[in-house]
Amino acid sequence: MSGGVDSSVAAALVVEQGHDVIGLSMQLYDQSDGERTFGSCCTLDDLHDARRVARTLGIPHYIVNLERQFDEHVVSNFVREYAAGRTPIPCARCNSDLKFSTLLTRARGFGADVVATGHYARLDRDPGTARHLLRRSLDPDKDQSYFLFSLSQDQLAHALFPVGDWSKDDVREYARRRGLLVADKPDSQEICFIPDHDYATFVATHSPEAARAHGEIIDTAGRVVGRHDGIHRFTVGQRKGLGLSRSPGGQPVYVLSLNPVEQQVIVGPKALLEKTTLTASEVNWMIAEPSGPLEVTAQIRHRHRPADATLTALGDRRAQLVFDAPQVAVTPGQAVVFYQEDVVVGGGWID
């Protein structure tokens, strides 16, 4: 229970369904310095809201201190990835390494069987193989299956997504009817631990190395066209913040790739941003790992229109994807999630 309307309604629904429910909120940051509200979610106010909702629902509520685990699994990973020239997705890590891992273990410790969350996603079983499957939510605009791609079979077996079948509007309406004070609370839009979207400052604060880093901006021919103060300030496809307006030819210039070893930002025209293939690591297979090529639609960012592609497992938890049409800004560190219809086939981290 984050204190938001989705997890509040999820809690209300499982109570309504007759389950024995305990509300848990995660404490992810040190709240003792009361002045600093760390980010947009899970602040003291949010924990307070979660507690109030639990009271309305008549369920016990506990706050579980996962500061250390959050720092280890989510924040440190985030900083390392940026420093290494990759663009991470902390929310996906939080799901697999915290919510459905540490939190699930804690919950089982006091007798719970399942963790229900306010995620927009749906669970299913494959009738043939009995494997647990993940599907997109009913509300296509809110679908969060992209962030849940790395859940294992065991984790899926102990998960529940009560609002997966609901539209956001219906969720808010239900919250109002049920008298939950968070019915009209705005959704948090940014990464929960980065206030004001300022990733660069966050990374520099947490990595003295990154703070000191600087290097050259070069074009594809290797010519130096500018300088930068750390590759962590950039992501593939970025246009702003380069300190250059156009290439000598007059075209707009984009980040094509980042070289952490040489601390270089490689820029070029938009055409070079398009890629047809990618490889992924740490692939999680929701279906049984396919032996041959598979036709899928693949999503390389949360807000990316899934594109047709052919997927081939390479073994060793790696996979290759060949898109039917070139895709813009294939970004190392992001997740690539493979779908068939609305079913998640699997996903991995883009190399």
Partner 1 sequence: MNGSLMRVYFDYNATTPLAPPVIEAVVRATHDLFGNPSSVHYFGQQAKALIDEARSAVATLLNGDPSEVVFTSGGTESDNFAIRGAAEALEPTGRRHLIASSIEHEAVLNTFKALARRGWRTTLLPVDQTGIIAPDRLREVISDDTAIVSIMHANNEIGTVQPVAELARLAHERGAIVHTDAVQSVGKIPVDVRALGIDLLSLSAHKFNGPKGAGALWIKRGTRMQPILTGGRHERNRRAGTENVPAIAGMGTAAALAGAKIAAEGARLGALRDRLEAGILKTVPGSAVNGALQPRVPNTSNISFDRVEAESLLIALDLEGIAVSTGSACSSGTLEPSHVLRAMGLPAHRTQNSLRFSLGLFSTDAEVDRVVETLPRLVEKLRGLTRKAG
Q: Phi-psi bin for 321: left (phi > 0), alpha (psi -120 to 50), beta? A: beta
Q: Is 108 in the site for partner 1 (CB under 8 A)?
A: yes
Nearer to partner 1, 60 or 326 (CB): 60
Compute the least distance from the CB of residue 23 to partner 1, in Å. Answer: 11
Q: Is 56 in the site for partner 1 (CB under 8 A)?
A: no
CA–CA distance, 196 with 199 (Å, rounded to integer)? 8
Residue 94 among the catalytic residues: yes
Nearer to partner 1, 43 or 297 (CB): 43
Compute the least distance from the CB of residue 17 to partner 1, in Å. Answer: 16
| Six token digits for residue 334 | 């992001």
Of residues 17, 60, 241, 276, which one binds partner 1 by CB under 8 A?
60
Residue 70 CB neighbours (<10 A): 24
Question: Per CB under 8 A, which region of 57-65, 81-89, 188-196, 256-264 contacts partner 1?
Answer: 57-65
Compute the least distance from the CB of residue 223 to partner 1, in Å. Answer: 51
Q: Is 181 in the site for partner 1 (CB under 8 A)?
A: no
Compute the least distance from the CB of residue 313 to partner 1, in Å. Answer: 27
Task: Tally the C-alpha atoms within 13 A of residue 124's C-alpha that lie toward its C-beta.
Answer: 20
Nearer to partner 1, 157 or 322 (CB): 157
Of residues 36, 55, 76, 105, which one binds partner 1 by CB under 8 A?
105
CA–CA distance, 317 with 90 (Å, rounded to integer)? 20
DSSP H helical ranges for 23-116: 44-57, 67-70, 76-83, 90-94, 103-109
Compute the least distance from the CB of residue 102 to partner 1, in Å. Answer: 9
Compute the least distance from the CB of residue 58 to partner 1, in Å. Answer: 8
Question: Per CB under 8 A, which region of 102-110, 201-209, 253-261, 315-323 contacts partner 1?
Answer: 102-110
Of residues 10, 47, 138, 345, which one binds partner 1 by CB under 8 A?
47
Residues paired with 264 in a beta bridge: 216, 259
Q: Is 18 in the site for partner 1 (CB under 8 A)?
A: no
Of residues 34, 127, 128, 208, which one binds partner 1 by CB under 8 A?
34
Q: Residue 319's closest CA among 344, 339, 349?
A: 349
Residue 41 among the catalytic residues: no
Nearer to partner 1, 137 or 155 (CB): 155
Q: What is the separation of C-alpha 248 from the centre of its chain, rounded to a whole number of angstroms? A: 37
Angle at 134 between CA 178 and CA 337, to 5 degrees: 120
How many residues bind to partner 1 according to rule CB under 8 A?
21
Of residues 19, 41, 56, 62, which one binds partner 1 by CB under 8 A?
62
Compute the least distance from the CB of residue 315 to partner 1, in Å. Answer: 25
CA–CA distance, 198 with 203 (Å, rounded to integer)? 9
Strands 115-116 and 159-160: parallel
Q: What length is written for the chain? A: 351
What is the per-residue binding string for partner 1 in 122-161, x denoting contact by CB under 8 A? ----------------------------------------
| Six token digits for residue 188 | 């948090």
Q: Phi-psi bin for 216: left (phi > 0), alpha (psi -120 to 50), beta? A: beta
Q: Is 38 in the site for partner 1 (CB under 8 A)?
A: no
DSSP letters along 24-48, please? EEEE-S--SSTT---SSSS-HHHHH
CA–CA distance, 148 with 265 (Å, rounded to integer)? 31
Q: Residue 244's closest CA among 272, 270, 207, 218?
A: 218
Q: Mind telling me the catalytic residues?
A: 94, 192
Q: By CB under 8 A, name the binding residues for partner 1.
A: 20, 22, 27, 31-32, 34, 44, 47, 51, 59-60, 62-65, 105-106, 108-111
